[in-house]
Amino acid sequence: MPIKHIDLGFADYKEVWDMQKETHLNKQKNPGDDILFTVEHNHVYTLGKTGSRDHILISDEEMKSKGISYYEIDRGGDITYHGPGQLVAYPILELNNYYKDTHRYLRDLEETVILTLNELGIEAHREEEYTGVWVGDEKICAIGIKVSRWITMHGIAFNINTDLSYFDKIIPCGIFHKGVTSVEKITGAKADFEKIREIYVKNFENTFQTHQKQ
């Protein structure tokens, strides 16, 4: 079964969250193609249901003055940032068609990013203690998901040309002692965002179609 990729371009976080919920609900009623949304968001902090508000180091007033939105949402994980230059991917997959294993799903999401970075000549890896993808001691991709009725929501946030200063106002993913990075920071040059999106979508499709039940 093909995975349908929908490029949402640049879109508001709340609008896309609502779109995910609607798609998830429709998929419960009418199983059809699996979907991969990719998008860039405006500046926004999101706090997962297992996160701590104490990991936000900026006041509501300062967030408002800087034009940063804030949402407490229904994924796992802690606080993270989304913004321009970051590739965000939201797969709506029916895991019954693959495997009923959320830990394996997280590892496969990590793999899609590791494969993409490898194609860019960047050596990336997993950290045993933490979900996500790392280059050296710095996180380049955060991952937070929700799985309900074995259908997935939320996904990955992959720093390509991201303004990393926005991470200074939070404790990303609740991890105090490690940094964050981006493709631009590693290479020292602005990356081709659309080319990386294309490579990522290819690696996503290859990774998950390999695991589809026939």
Q: Which residues are catalytically annotated?
A: 173
Distance CA 30, CA 64 (A): 40
Question: How many C-beta neighbours within 10 Å does residue 149 have?
Answer: 10
Distance CA 35, CA 143 (A): 17
DSSP conformational letter for 67: T
Distance CA 193, CA 85 (A): 7
Please report the sign of the dihedral spanned by the C-alpha atoms of residue 193, residue 153, residue 174, residue 137.
Answer: negative
